[in-house]
Chains A and B, each alone.
Chain A
Amino acid sequence: MARIQLLPDHLVSQIAAGEVVERPASVVKELVENSLDAGAREIAVELEVGGKRRIRISDDGSGMGKEDALLAFDQHATSKIRDFEDLQRVATLGFRGEALASIAAVARVELLTAEAPGEGWRVRIEGSRVRSVEPASRARGTTLEIASLFFNVPARRKFLKQPRTELRRCVEVVQGYCLACPDITFRLSHEGRSIIDATATSADGEGLRERIRQLFGDQLADALVELPAGGAAGESIRGFVGKRETAKGRRLFIFVNGRLIRDRQVLATYYRAVRDEWKHDEYPSLFLFLGVPPEDLDVNVHPQKSEVRFRDASFVHRVSRVLREGLVSARGEEAAPLREAWGAAERPLAWSGLGAVSEPSIHETAAAFDTRDAGADAQSGVWDWRRDGRQKIAEAAYDRASPSEVPLSRGSRDRAVRILGQYKGAILLLETPQGLLLMDQHAAHERVLYEKLARAMEAEEPKVQRLLVPQLLELSPSERLQLDSLVESLQPMGLQLERLSGGDLALVGVPAVLSDQQALSLVLELAASEEQSTDPAALKRQILESVAADRACKAAIKIHHALPMAQMEQLVASLFACDDPYSCPHGRPTLLEMSDAELERRFGRR
């Protein structure tokens, strides 16, 4: 018998379905897009068990006749593309023609649709097989009910997360369309509980601000500045950027032609604009809506259409200009910080001569003096500490002729390391039996301090400062769901949240190591981050680490800082005693190795 067989049709469609339908949220996404394309003014989403058991989407769009209703479930059936020409200017949201067919391949689907009142059809499909088609009554529009998602694909079903997580993802999807289409009413409920209830506003800037208010609350809506109009003919660049106080949480939303995307290029442009205009790297909220002619956009990069490619490279420059202008006005009346005309780029390891070694502290000066020839100075009787001190520091740092040997060990990892010296006040050179090690002194010290701090903080019972007035948190529906599930786990860490009526949350106590604003940022970040663990131990570590990493970085020795030998030895020894000596808390490496083999190869000895 032949080993290679053709896959049966239903298996092919199940596999294809996997590309489009990954989880309830992807079903919601496809169906909301279909509703929007059908011209709906009102879209209601009802979910059960996070959408795993049931997803019901009803709209008041154009609806379908009997033929269309059946054809809709065929592979690559779509009302939107007829030939290759059409593919070049896809203006509608759903286009791959696989959505409904793919969903029908992995769920029990019931479609109820009517082009006009009284002319409706009900179609039942289960795992791609049409079970029944019958006339039914309905007002104009379409209702799709997707039950038992992945009932016939156990492997997929196993990969679904807890209902809470799946629900949050669905809410995020609907939230995205809420923002993209403020002139359309959206409702989302879960097992009868209303989560999103956003009545239509208008499609202009103020309508959008109202929509943001409906979802995120007054605080955010009032702290947004409208971007100036921009873009060349046929393009549009609009939206809002937040003032300084919105730089908490991660509320960055980018839409291209009405589609919420996570485009790295646009995000990077935004980050750069903030760093340039505001001179810091806390990013304020962003609601950015880009419109380009469909033929200038390649959306077919990713099956979930979450990434796009702009054909006109200069478009991103225009986006950047608008963002910068917006950021300038969001910063307030204060004029732009004057940029130095020839702002020296920060080149951490650039050679700036021995003279540029940073001024030694008293402690180090003393240490450096210990290494010099005491007799010579005693004879001269005159002691010009400035001149003399600097020279000796330089000698201490660079001309040490007697490297010392530090045998180090930790657990089973025995290490013999000899310190050769310090390179340009920044990098320690270490000789090991295997080769040459370069150690970044700042990163290494950061790691050492960080582990010490994290251990100390973990051992300590957290002190909790109660707040005089509870701080009401303004959260979007998806953020509220996530944070609500974390309330109990955050308690032992000193982040005390109180549940108020109506599902609101308020911060009532904060860890005493943080200010209330830092704690607030942390809470908002936890609420908005995408993959949030609810395990108390993991959460605790996450919080401690974010606090400790920040403090360690500030306290660590900087580069261009000459170290006496005793300090180098101490640093090397403490680094190798760390749990993870190989990277600083931010993930940059502390050590680079050049093995003997590598050196020999480069010198042509091998």
Chain B
Amino acid sequence: MEIVVSREELVAELALLQGIVERRATIPVLSHLLFQAEGERLSLAATDLDVSLSTGCGAEVLRPGQLAVQAKKFTEIVRALGADEVRLTLAEGNNLAIESGRSRFRIRGLEAESFPTLPKVESSSELEFPLATLRQMIGKVLFAISSEESRFQLNGALFKATDSTLELVATDGYRLARVETDFSGAGAEGLAQGVLVPRKALQEILRFSGEEPVRFRRNEHHLSFRIGDRELISRILEGTFPDYERVIARDHEKKPVLSREALQLAVRRVSLLSGERARGVLLRFEADLLTISAANPDLGEAEEQVVCRYDGEPVQIGLNPDYIGHFLGAIESNEVRLELKDAESQCVGFPIEDPEGEAGDRYLCVIMPMHV
């Protein structure tokens, strides 16, 4: 293998591949990237066996060939290089020579054959949606994905599509975020039941940019997201996602409306005294006034009042301030509406996109109460 590539193009692809390479890989080859030079192109691939990315960039291929190269070192080297072009040459003993300007490196690689074969997702039907829409949806639910490894079925988000909507839902057992958007595309039958997409695949999609649409396919075990020449393949998380439609309360009658920013800042301030071991703040709604308070026997007490629009019975609820913060941080609307029943029942939060419209109902975040 001997090729010449543009350093800038290479660095852009390496940044995407970094997200896939397992940092604590126990199988040595998984900390490597697969290089394949052929035709006019250098193909690059990374996998952690669950999520894989194959991508590439144009190259002047003097001699085709392939090799697995240590991802972290290679990326560091290419980033540090000064010149615009990089020459990569496969030397004997699976070594890779990197030459650029006056710098010369030689790094050890592994045989390309030891790199796992990436799954192929063949399917007759394909969906297409804008990348920006998908990224926006992911940003709204990512925080609610459980990081508790033993609850593997919650280590991802449920991705669902019908002929007219796309839906993404995530929960960690304490809160749940759900976002829905209009979508006009036929052939969504494969997603009517929904599939569980691992967190890592969602995070990787957030790294992508550009105007190209996402072309989506699935088979029994894998999902494929194609964006231009790049293909992200993810194993489908197995397991049963909770029956979330049944869990979300729809009949709460206490619906205070308040400024998103004012609430966010006040909660952040009050939560400074909400305790280190178990964080909880108390929200008390009375006529047009919200009082947020926290008390901690070791530290002291804090209280702040926020104006709101509310004319129902007084109600109070204890909530984890981090959960409120994550919800408010995921949306951009000026105002939010909280729907409450009592201290024992869930709080459901909505952004208010437009005071007249119903558009805000397309996103909601359920937060379970805490006895404070």
Residues of A within 8 A of B (CB): 244-245, 333-338, 456-457, 459-460, 462-469, 471, 494, 509, 511-513, 515-517
Q: CB-CB < 8 A to A337: which residues of B?
A: 26
**Complex alpha-carbon distance, A465 and B347, angstroms:** 13
Q: CB-CB < 8 A to B275: which residues of A?
A: 460, 463
CB distance A468 to B370 under 8 Å? no
Q: CB-CB < 8 A to A464: which residues of B?
A: 370-371
**Complex alpha-carbon distance, A331 and B328, angstroms:** 39
Of B148, B174, B243, B371, which one neighbours A463 at CB under 8 angstroms? B371
Against A, the Cβ 8 Å flags (1 = close, 0 = not) of B334-372 are 000000000010100000000000000000001011111
| Nearest-CB residue, chain B, relative to A467 | B173
Give min CB distance, A44 to chain B, whole Å.
36
**Complex alpha-carbon distance, A350 and B242, angstroms:** 52
Stretch of B10-18, B122-130, B222-230, B276-284 at the chain-chain interface: B276-284
User: Does B54 lie at the interface of the complex (its beta carbon under 8 Å from any beta carbon of A)?
Assistant: no
**Complex alpha-carbon distance, A515 and B369, angstroms:** 15
| Nearest-CB residue, chain A, relative to B50 | A333
Give min CB distance, B316 to chain A, whole Å.
14
Q: CB-CB < 8 A to A494: which residues of B?
A: 371
Ordered nearest first, which 7 A-B pairs have the shortest CB separation?
Answer: A512-B278, A464-B371, A463-B278, A466-B368, A469-B242, A513-B278, A513-B277
Give min CB distance, B237 to chain A, whole Å.
14
CB distance A465 to B247 under 8 Å? no
**Complex alpha-carbon distance, A511 and B358, angstroms:** 37
Q: Which of B150, B297, B320, B366 has the most CB of A within 10 A?
A: B150
Question: Given that A463-B370, A511-B278 are contacting pairs, would A335 and B26 also be in contact in the complex, using a CB cutoff of 8 Å?
Answer: yes
User: Does B80 lie at the interface of the complex (its beta carbon under 8 Å from any beta carbon of A)?
Assistant: no
Give min CB distance, A544 to chain B, whole Å.
11
Of B277, B368, B372, which one neighbours A467 at CB under 8 angstroms? B368
Question: Given that A468-B366, A512-B320 are contacting pairs, would A244 and B150 also be in contact in the complex, using a CB cutoff of 8 Å?
Answer: yes
| Nearest-CB residue, chain A, relative to B242 | A469
Give min CB distance, B192 to chain A, whole Å.
22
**Complex alpha-carbon distance, A329 and B235, angstroms:** 20
Against A, the Cβ 8 Å flags (1 = close, 0 = not) of B186-219 are 0000000000000000000000000000000000
Question: Given that A459-B297, A460-B297, A494-B371 are contacting pairs, would A468 and B278 also be in contact in the complex, using a CB cutoff of 8 Å?
Answer: no
Q: CB-CB < 8 A to A245: which residues of B?
A: 150, 152
* Tally of B interface residues using CB under 8 Å: 33
| Nearest-CB residue, chain A, relative to B298 | A456
Q: CB-CB < 8 A to B150: which residues of A?
A: 244-245, 517
Q: CB-CB < 8 A to B176: which residues of A?
A: 468
CB distance A466 to B344 under 8 Å? yes
CB distance A468 to B318 under 8 Å? no
**Complex alpha-carbon distance, A335 and B370, angstroms:** 41
Of B49, B149, B346, B370, which one neighbours A512 at CB under 8 angstroms? B370
**Complex alpha-carbon distance, A467 and B366, angstroms:** 11
Give min CB distance, B15 to chain A, whole Å.
26
Helix, strand, loop or mixed for chain A's interface? mixed
CB distance A468 to B173 under 8 Å? yes
Q: A334-B27, A337-B26, A468-B368 are in contact. List 5 more A-B contacts (CB 8 A).
A: A338-B26, A456-B298, A468-B171, A512-B280, A512-B370
**Complex alpha-carbon distance, A335 and B366, angstroms:** 39
User: Does B151 lie at the interface of the complex (its beta carbon under 8 Å from any beta carbon of A)?
Assistant: yes
Question: Given that A244-B150, A456-B298 are contacting pairs, would A465 and B175 also be in contact in the complex, using a CB cutoff of 8 Å?
Answer: no
Q: CB-CB < 8 A to A509: which residues of B?
A: 371
Give min CB distance, B83 to chain A, whole Å.
36
Question: Given that A460-B297, A515-B148 are contacting pairs, would A465 and B368 also be in contact in the complex, using a CB cutoff of 8 Å?
Answer: yes
CB distance B26 to A465 under 8 Å? no
Q: CB-CB < 8 A to B372: which residues of A?
A: 463
A-B contact pairs, 29 of them (CB 8 A): A333-B49, A335-B27, A456-B297, A459-B297, A462-B371, A463-B370, A463-B371, A464-B370, A464-B371, A465-B174, A465-B278, A466-B368, A466-B370, A466-B371, A467-B173, A468-B176, A468-B242, A468-B247, A468-B346, A469-B243, A471-B173, A494-B371, A509-B371, A512-B277, A512-B320, A513-B277, A515-B148, A516-B148, A517-B151
Q: CB-CB < 8 A to A244: which residues of B?
A: 149-150
Give min CB distance, B45 to chain A, whole Å.
19
Q: CB-CB < 8 A to A515: which residues of B?
A: 148
Question: Given that A335-B27, A337-B26, A456-B298 are contacting pairs, would A463 and B242 also be in contact in the complex, using a CB cutoff of 8 Å?
Answer: no
Of B49, B148, B149, B370, which one neighbours A465 at CB under 8 angstroms? B370
**Complex alpha-carbon distance, A512 and B278, angstroms:** 5
| Nearest-CB residue, chain B, relative to A547 | B277
**Complex alpha-carbon distance, A100 and B261, angstroms:** 78
Q: CB-CB < 8 A to A333: which residues of B?
A: 49
Give min CB distance, B206 to chain A, whole Å.
25
CB distance A469 to B247 under 8 Å? yes
Q: Which of B26, B277, B298 has the most CB of A within 10 A?
A: B277
| Nearest-CB residue, chain B, relative to A248 | B150
| Nearest-CB residue, chain A, relative to B296 | A460
CB distance A466 to B369 under 8 Å? yes
Q: CB-CB < 8 A to A513: which residues of B?
A: 277-278
CB distance B171 to A336 under 8 Å? no
Give min CB distance, A473 to chain B, whole Å.
14
Q: CB-CB < 8 A to B171: which residues of A?
A: 468-469
User: In chain B between 24 and 39, which residues have their CB closer than 8 angstroms to a CB of chain A?
Assistant: 26-27
Give min CB distance, B52 to chain A, whole Å.
15
Q: CB-CB < 8 A to A459: which residues of B?
A: 297
Question: Given that A335-B27, A512-B278 are contacting pairs, would A465 and B151 also be in contact in the complex, using a CB cutoff of 8 Å?
Answer: no
**Complex alpha-carbon distance, A244 and B151, angstroms:** 11
Against A, the Cβ 8 Å flags (1 = close, 0 = not) of B158-179 are 0000000000000101111000
Q: CB-CB < 8 A to A338: which residues of B?
A: 26
**Complex alpha-carbon distance, A47 and B269, angstroms:** 60
**Complex alpha-carbon distance, A509 and B49, angstroms:** 36
**Complex alpha-carbon distance, A511 and B278, angstroms:** 8
Q: CB-CB < 8 A to B152: which residues of A?
A: 245
Against A, the Cβ 8 Å flags (1 = close, 0 = not) of B260-278 are 0000000000000001011
Q: CB-CB < 8 A to A471: which residues of B?
A: 173
Q: CB-CB < 8 A to A335: which residues of B?
A: 26-27
Against A, the Cβ 8 Å flags (1 = close, 0 = not) of B218-259 are 000000000000000000000000110001000000000000
Give min CB distance, B148 to chain A, whole Å.
5
| Nearest-CB residue, chain A, relative to B278 | A512
**Complex alpha-carbon distance, A336 and B320, angstroms:** 39
